[in-house]
Amino acid sequence: MGFLHHEPSHCLGADIAKDTIVFSDGPAGSVRTIANKRGAIRAFLKARGADLIVCEPTGGHELVLLEACLAAGIACHRADTLKLKSFIRSFGVLGKSDAIDAGMLAAYGRERWKGLTLWRSPDADQLRLRSLVRRRSELVAMRVAEQNRAKAPGNSALTTSFRAIIVAIKRQILALDAAIKALVGEAPGLARRATVCTAMNGIGPISAAALIACLPELGSMSRRQAAALAGLAPHPSESGARKGYRNIRGGRPEIRTILFMPALRAAAGNGEFAGFYKRLVTKGKKPSVAITAIMRKIVITLNARLRDDQSPQS
């Protein structure tokens, strides 16, 4: 992860839509709207001469700008939407428009530049894997929804329809599983990371691929950063003499979904963390808390193993 080492002299905020980009250099600064096309973006960047551009994720529409900034040697940051919303609220801003958002993005960049990670173009294989894993997750959710509808009272007359859709979805999931395994097998970088992950008892090829796709930062973080990014870090809830119950929140919820079944395997007495789970329960921890602790343990351990780039010795 890269960071700026010097305060930017000219920071621009970019509010991105499918067809247009609104640029602003501050809440009370100038505003310019251009087409969201490579040529228009290159011309604007060449004429404006910014040294930091901040935008939000917009379902992929921001990638043209980010790639143009990278080619032009301009630092760029894709801001976390929740953090940005909290930043805007702190100014008491209640209105919303493209110009307002662009101005606040510029203010966010000028104020928070020291802690903003710079965007780097992801590996092509990593992007393809992420797309395959995301689509598989969508299909699994669709399958569960159809199965629930099929079991609902009064839907017996539609059994044939539900069954046909479920069969089609299962066929597509199997095809995606094959595509994911083929991609991981063909890409040396992905294959090495998958080997380290699957060396852990309870992590299969598909779970390993999902982890690599959804948490590509594994192996480049500290243990606390890994737990927080996965949404598995216990956050305190204290005020004065009150010591509240610590809860996990934030992070990437899809990671918890991926790790839930490996954690249940440990709870059932299998896998390398089965003893850890048993010790937690013996000490009086609730099973749900112990399972969460197992998920956190898995992330931290995989992060360390990928950082050292070695599997555990037998």
Average pLDDT over residues 14-34: 94
AA identity, residue 122: P
For residue 236, how many other CB atoms are within 10 A of its CB? 10
Contact 65, 102 (CB under 8 A): no
CA distance 151 to 124: 41
Tell me the two tokens of residue 34: 């251009």
Q: Mapping DSSP to helix (H, G, I), strand (E, B) and coil, where does residue 188 land?
A: helix
Task: Supply the pLDDT for residue 312.
Answer: 46
pLDDT value of position 314? 39
Q: What's the pLDDT at 1?
A: 60
The neighbouring-strand residues paired with 238 are 243
Hey, CA dihedral for 5, 3, 109, 111, is it positive or negative? negative
| Percent of the chain topping pLDDT 70 | 98
pLDDT of residue 276: 94
**What's this model's pTM, rounded to 2 decimal places?**
0.82
At residue 221, what are phi and psi to the nearest 5 degrees? -125, 170
Q: For residue 51, which phi and psi values (nearest 5 degrees)?
A: -115, 0
The encoded tokens of residue 95 equal 């209105």
Q: Which residues lie closer than 8 Å to 144 by C-beta, 6 or more apart?
A: none
Give pLDDT, residue 68. 94
Q: Is a pLDDT exceeding 90 seen at residue 143?
A: yes
Q: What one-character DSSP code corresponds to residue 234?
A: E
Check pLDDT > 70 for residue 272. yes
pLDDT, one tens digit per residue, over 213-254 is 999 999 989 999 999 999 999 888 888 888 888 888 888 999
- 75-112 pLDDT, tens digit each: 999 999 989 999 999 999 988 999 999 999 999 999 99
pLDDT tens for 162-209 read: 999 999 999 999 999 999 999 999 999 999 999 999 999 889 999 999
Q: Distance between CA 303 and CA 310 in Å, rounded?
A: 11
Check whether 313 has a pLDDT greater than 70.
no
Please give the mean pLDDT across all residues of the chain.
92
Query: Quick one: three-class SS letters along 145-169?
Result: HHHHHHHCCCCHHHHHHHHHHHHHH
Q: Does position 40 have pLDDT exceeding 70, yes or no?
A: yes
Q: For 8, phi and psi rounded to 5 degrees?
A: -70, 140
Q: Is residue 233 within 8 Å of 227, Cβ to Cβ?
A: yes
